[in-house]
Amino acid sequence: MAPDPAQDVETDLLIIGAGPTGLYAAYYAGFRGLRVAVVDSLPALGGQVTAMYPEKAILDVAGFPNVKGRELVAGLVEQAASADPTYLLDRSATGCTISDDSVAIVLDDGTTVVAKAVIITAGIGKFAPRPLPVGMDWVGRGVEFFVPSFEPYAGKDVVIVGGGDSAFDWALHLEPVARSVTLVHRRDAFRAHARTVEQVRASPVEIITKAQVTGMSGDGTLSHVEITVDGADPVQRPAQAVVAALGFIADLGPLQTWGLETLKRHIVVDSAMRTNLPRVFGAGDITEYPGKVRLIAVGFGEAATAVNNAAVVIDPSAHVFPGHSSEGS
């Protein structure tokens, strides 16, 4: 459920971030009998998974040999529904005031959320795609930064710019749909997972390295790109779609002003997922501690740890370990 804009909210636990970790934390808060609210700057649930790779096959979530991003999010939303969470979407957390028994979080629409504890599950924080300079005039007319659906690329000549996981994942998934897929990268080494690189190399996708897209043209909408390879003369290629998979620029935004201890844009937590601020916890990709591994699966475990430890802060008579969800009442 969602309250009206700028309507103040009082709850036991506020979760900042509605990605997979945040959604699982919402479910677990309900399992602990807590009232829960979830805030996210994006207009839809699912965080980066929904915004960036809803069609991507995710292979490293326990119990799911192969699950699409959107299917994973749908399952998490259904699971979280058991907690009857209050969703505050398309709103960002800005201010934070901590008292002896609560935390007051001010959102950018004027809403104030008063919670007994807060868990920050904001992933990489607020993010924006890195621009492709030559393509900025063509955004929405053939140039995109994310691929939320494969259908619009059916029968098109697609050029993907980048050498990371997103570039190779999209190349692999678009190849059966598009008329042609060309991957252009400025270096001959890639940041993508080696297995995915080999899959793309074995596919009909054309990989052009030491190259850049240096021009675009078309009558209203994109029809051709200009590719320059290692200083040679530019070559024109047909392209009705360009995906600029150059990564993204991320920061913690207003969270940086709260006094949280951070390390390289991540929030430092201890083994109980506590931050240096009282009543404020963290979980998922946004956190940092020795040996940290950034996987969705790890985020689920951290969410449960954070909720269980927050439960004791909320109610000192509670126990950190509540028993197993399978034990029944």
Spell out the domain ranges in the chain: 9-127+248-327, 131-244
DSSP β-bridge partners for residue 216: 225
For residue 285, say whether it is annotated as part of any ligand binding site: yes
Determine the Cα–Cα distance for residues 232 and 223; give it in Å rounded to an integer: 22
Q: What residue ranges of the chain have pLDDT lower than 70?
A: 1-6, 326-329
What pLDDT score does 53 carry? 73
Q: What is the pTM of this model?
A: 0.77
Question: How far apart (Å, rounded) are the C-alpha atoms in residues 116 and 102?
Answer: 4
Is 157 labeled as ligand-binding? no
- CA atoms 202, 206, 211, 215: torsion sign: negative
The 10 Å Cβ neighbour count of residue 264 is 5
Among candidate residues 138, 103, 98, the one with its CA nearest the CA of residue 118: 103
Tell whether residue 21 is among the known ligand binding residues. yes
**Residue among 190, 174, 123, 164 at smallest CA distance from 246:** 164
Number of H helices, E strands in the chain: 6, 22
* Contact (CB, 8 A) for 159 and 238: no
Can you tell me which residue has the tokens 């103040």?
A: 8
| Contact of 112 with 10, CB cutoff 8 Å | no
Which architecture does CATH list for 131-244?
3-Layer(bba) Sandwich (3.50)
Structure confidence at residue 316 (pLDDT): 93
The pLDDT, as a whole number, for residue 50 is 83
Exposed, middle or buried: residue 279 (CB in 10 Å: 0-12, 13-18, 19+)? buried
DSSP annotation of 176 reads T
Q: Is 40 annotated as a binding residue?
A: yes
Three-state helix/strand/coil letters over 68-114: EHHHHHHHHHHHHHHHCCEEEECCCEEEEEECCCCEEEEECCCCEEE
Task: State the angle between helix axes of 165-174 and 194-201 in degrees (0 to 180), rounded to the nearest 10.
Answer: 40
137 known ligand binder? no
Question: Taking every pair of C-alpha atoms in the chain, what is the biggest distance, in angstroms?
Answer: 73
Q: What is the DSSP letter of 254?
A: G
pLDDT one-digit tens code per residue, 261-302: 999 889 999 999 999 999 999 999 999 999 999 999 999 999
Pick the CATH number of 9-127+248-327 from 2.30.40.10, 3.40.50.300, 3.40.50.2000, 3.50.50.60: 3.50.50.60
84 is in an annotated binding site: no
Residue 24, token pair as written in the block? 């699982």
Gap between the Cα atoms of 182 and 236, Å rounded: 13
- 44 carries a ligand binding annotation: no
**61 DSSP 8-state letter:** B
Report which DSSP code applies to 4.
P
Question: What are residue 236's phi and psi, to 5 degrees?
Answer: -90, 140
The answer to whether 326 is a known ligand-binding residue is yes
**Topology match between the domains 9-127+248-327 and 131-244:** yes
**Closest Cα partner for 152 from 43, 219, 55?**
55
Question: What pLDDT, on the 0 to 100 scale, is given for residue 146?
Answer: 83
